């Protein structure tokens, strides 16, 4: 298992955001994490990526307990948060340098990785632009490029296509499929079509509880 979530619970004040959830994701899967706003998707993802502590339970990514071995866990995870904290005044290539250094990647390897990500993510004409000048779709490309700069095995993508126009949507889904090949991807969304477009399995969460976890063909067969 690349991702394993065990009885994970998060309580904010008196609000139970996730309630003893369990699921796992195998290497090579692209799994949709589907649920309405407020269901607990972002909370789960923030715990998986080590940005937030669980109230109880555990999360294991690439055999690292994210609470106890957070540095090792983070090194193996690429994360695209929903509210992507991109630095709007930074230039695209400069931003990728900055993120790469945070991961401790040294030149000249870092320069190679940056060129590779610019190529794969279709950012050739944007590399000398400031992030603030880019459209939402191109910002998401930058977001994916930074999430992938250290070649993680596991990708955690929080609502990666929300707010994109139809053309951008197709392009970003294609890019996620390309980057996610042979990796482990957990992608949150509140749209079933998103899951149908790129996922092989779906985990449905509602009010902090997992209400379905199945291969897509089985869910379709059920209705």
**# residues near ligand ADP by CB under 6 A:** 13
C-beta of 83 vs 106, nearer to ligand ADP:
83
For residue 134, give the 3-state DSSP assignment.
coil
C-beta of 35 vs 50, nearer to ligand ADP:
35
C-beta of 35 vs 100, nearer to ligand ADP:
35
C-beta of 53 vs 119, nearer to ligand ADP:
53
Round to whole Å and give the CA distance between 40 and 18.
6
Binding-site member from 2, 4, 42, 97 for ligand ADP (CB under 6 A): 42
> What DSSP string runs through 57-92?
EEEEETTEETTTSHHHHHHTEEEE-SS----TTSBH
Round to whole Å and give the CA distance between 110 and 100.
6
The answer to the question of residue 35 lying near ligand ADP (CB under 6 A) is yes
The answer to the question of residue 40 lying near ligand ADP (CB under 6 A) is yes
Only segment of 33-41, 70-78, 115-123, 134-142 that touches ligand ADP (CB under 6 A):
33-41
Contacts of 120-123 with C-beta under 8 Å, sequence gap 24+, read: 120/145, 120/175, 120/178, 120/179, 121/145, 121/175, 122/171, 122/175, 123/92
Binding-site member from 6, 24, 38, 214 for ligand ADP (CB under 6 A): 38
Binding-site member from 4, 43, 84, 97 for ligand ADP (CB under 6 A): 43
Length of the chain, in residues = 223
- Bridge partners (DSSP) listed for residue 110: none
C-beta of 2 vs 42, nearer to ligand ADP:
42
Only segment of 41-49, 114-122, 132-140, 142-150 that touches ligand ADP (CB under 6 A):
41-49
CA distances in angstroms from 143 to 77, 148, 155, 176, listed in the order given: 14, 9, 12, 11
The answer to the question of residue 82 lying near ligand ADP (CB under 6 A) is yes
List interacting residues with ligand ADP (CB under 6 A). Answer: 12, 15, 17, 35, 37-43, 82-83
């Amino acid at each position: 298992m690349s991702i394993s979530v065990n009885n994970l619970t998060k309580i904010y004040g008196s609000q139970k955001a996730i309630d003893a959830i369990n699921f796992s994701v195998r290497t090579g899967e692209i799994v949709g994490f589907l649920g309405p706003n407020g269901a607990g998707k972002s909370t789960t993802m923030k715990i998986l990526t080590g940005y937030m502590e669980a109230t109880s339970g555990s999360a294991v990514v690439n055999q690292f307990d994210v609470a106890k071995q957070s540095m090792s866990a983070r090194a193996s995870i690429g994360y695209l948060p929903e509210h992507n904290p991109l630095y709007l005044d930074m230039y695209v290539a400069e931003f990728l340098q900055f993120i790469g250094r945070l991961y401790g990647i040294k030149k000249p390897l870092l320069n190679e990785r940056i060129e590779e990500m610019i190529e794969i993510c279709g950012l050739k004409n944007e590399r000398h632009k400031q992030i603030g000048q880019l459209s939402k779709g191109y910002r998401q490309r930058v977001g994916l490029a930074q999430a992938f700069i250290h070649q993680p095995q596991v990708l955690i993508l929080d609502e990666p296509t929300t707010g994109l126009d139809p053309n951008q949507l197709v392009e970003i889904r294609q890019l996620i499929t390309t980057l996610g090949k042979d990796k482990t991807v957990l992608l949150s969304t509140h749209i079933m079509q998103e899951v149908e477009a790129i996922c092989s399995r779906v985990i449905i969460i509602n009010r902090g509880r997992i209400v379905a976890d199945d291969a897509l063909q089985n869910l379709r067969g059920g209705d």
